């Protein structure tokens, strides 16, 4: 080995910063080159279409009547924001998001505890928990829909509900939608929380036990505060995910019985009604609401995203 060149012996992760050598320049070029394909694809699919969506949202434009296209400024936003249907959609989305994330946090924590503590059948439990994660959302939606459906389901006969039509009632339908969403995405939450649990120093809990703390006190005073970062990351990701809910609603109710959500409203305006101007305005509003939620979490709750990004 020729170990003459000491410049190469820099510690990992702490490169020499002083001189911009040829080697440094080559490294920069390589770094940008390696990142280019991914960045270009991500930009191509998001940046240009997003700008285009903003542009289109300024026109009254229906695909079926291209000659009637005219500039309306922020008119579409006014139409959307003053429409009771839009606000009803926001309320439905909000309820689904809050309930789903709340319940998932509790169940997810319980699952994480079982995975963390289980001495026996650990592998089996983890495999079982991953199943819903891997199942296609549309299929989960069909499974729960058919289970509650009057025609095909077993839920009514099992619980003696006669011919109660779950999907003809706003809240009953919303309940089933939430159930499917929870089933499908709790595994993700529980795995994030499991990673958080693994970070809680074991001796802290033991010390608390020695000091006579009950299980509940240990949970509240030791475990949860020590995994706050993991909890916040899980809540942030799942909140934004639930806020964009689409598949379950599409399959189960197609937005009937006032179960429309924001993503579905956007889709319906653009694809079904080919109302590109208004549809894109709703889409932009959806995008802005996501930015707002993310900003609130990151600034307000100080979610440390460097942990997420791993830098």
The CB-of-216 to another protein minimum distance in angstroms stands at 15
Footprint (CB under 8 A) of another protein, residues 24-53: 24, 26-32, 34-35, 37-39, 41-42, 44-46, 48-50, 52-53
User: Using the rule CB under 8 A, which residue among 22, 67, 82, 152 binds another protein?
Assistant: 152
Instruction: Specify the stretch interacting with another protein by CB under 8 A; choose among 67-75, 98-106, 147-155, 203-211.
Output: 147-155
Please tell me whether residue 243 binds another protein under the rule CB under 8 A.
yes
Nearer to another protein, 102 or 121 (CB): 121
Please tell me whether residue 77 binds another protein under the rule CB under 8 A.
no
User: Using the rule CB under 8 A, which residue among 183, 200, 219, 224 binds another protein?
Assistant: 183
The CB-of-170 to another protein minimum distance in angstroms stands at 22
Please tell me whether residue 143 binds another protein under the rule CB under 8 A.
yes
Please tell me whether residue 258 binds another protein under the rule CB under 8 A.
no
Instruction: Specify the stretch interacting with another protein by CB under 8 A; choose among 74-82, 94-102, 188-196, 218-226.
Output: 188-196
3-state secondary structure the chain: CCCCCHHHCCCCCCCCCCCCCHHHHHHHHHHHHHHHHHHHHHHHHHHHHHHHHHHHCCEEEECCEEEEEEECCCHHHHHHHCCHHHHHHHHHHHHHHHHHHHHHHHHHHHHHHHHHHCCCCHHHHHHHHHHHHHCCHHHHHHHHHHHHCCCCCCHHHHCCCCCCCHHHCHHHHHHHHHHHHHHHHHHHHHHHHHHHHHHCCHHHHHHHHHCCCCHHHHHHHHHHHHCHHHHHHHHHHHHHHHHCCCHHHHHHCCCCCCCCCHHHHHHHHHHHCCEHHHHHHHHHHHHHHHHHHHHHHHHHCCCCHHHHHCC
The CB-of-86 to another protein minimum distance in angstroms stands at 15
Please tell me whether residue 156 binds another protein under the rule CB under 8 A.
yes
Instruction: Specify the stretch interacting with another protein by CB under 8 A; choose among 73-81, 95-103, 166-174, 301-309.
Output: 301-309
């Amino acid at each position: 080995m020729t170990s003459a060149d000491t410049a190469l012996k820099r510690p990992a992760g702490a490169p020499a910063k002083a001189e911009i050598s040829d080697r440094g320049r080559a490294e920069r070029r390589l770094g940008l080159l390696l990142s280019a394909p991914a960045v270009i694809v991500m930009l191509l699919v998001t940046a240009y279409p997003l700008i285009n969506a903003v542009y289109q949202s300024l026109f009254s434009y229906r695909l079926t009547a291209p000659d009637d296209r005219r500039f309306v400024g922020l008119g579409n936003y006014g139409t959307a924001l003053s429409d009771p249907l839009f606000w009803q959609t926001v309320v439905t989305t909000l309820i689904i998001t809050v309930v789903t994330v709340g319940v998932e946090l509790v169940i997810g924590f319980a699952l994480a505890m079982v995975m963390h503590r289980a001495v026996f059948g650990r592998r089996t439990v983890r495999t079982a928990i991953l199943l819903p994660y891997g199942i296609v959302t549309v299929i989960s939606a069909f499974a729960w829909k058919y289970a509650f459906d009057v025609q095909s389901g077993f839920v009514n006969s099992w619980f003696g509900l006669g011919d109660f039509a779950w999907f003809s009632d706003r809240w009953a339908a919303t309940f089933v939608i939430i159930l499917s969403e929870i089933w499908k995405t709790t595994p993700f939450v529980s795995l994030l929380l499991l990673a958080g649990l693994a970070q809680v120093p074991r001796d802290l809990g033991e010390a608390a036990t020695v000091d006579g703390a009950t299980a509940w006190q240990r949970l509240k005073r030791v475990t949860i505060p020590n995994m706050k970062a993991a909890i916040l990351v899980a809540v942030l990701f799942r909140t934004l995910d639930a806020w964009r809910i689409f598949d379950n609603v599409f399959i189960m109710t197609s937005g009937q019985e006032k179960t429309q959500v924001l993503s579905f409203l956007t889709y319906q305006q653009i694809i079904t009604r080919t109302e590109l101007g208004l549809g894109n305005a709703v889409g932009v509003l959806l995008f802005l609401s996501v930015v707002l939620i993310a900003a609130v979490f990151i600034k307000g709750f100080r979610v440390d995203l460097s942990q997420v990004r791993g830098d």
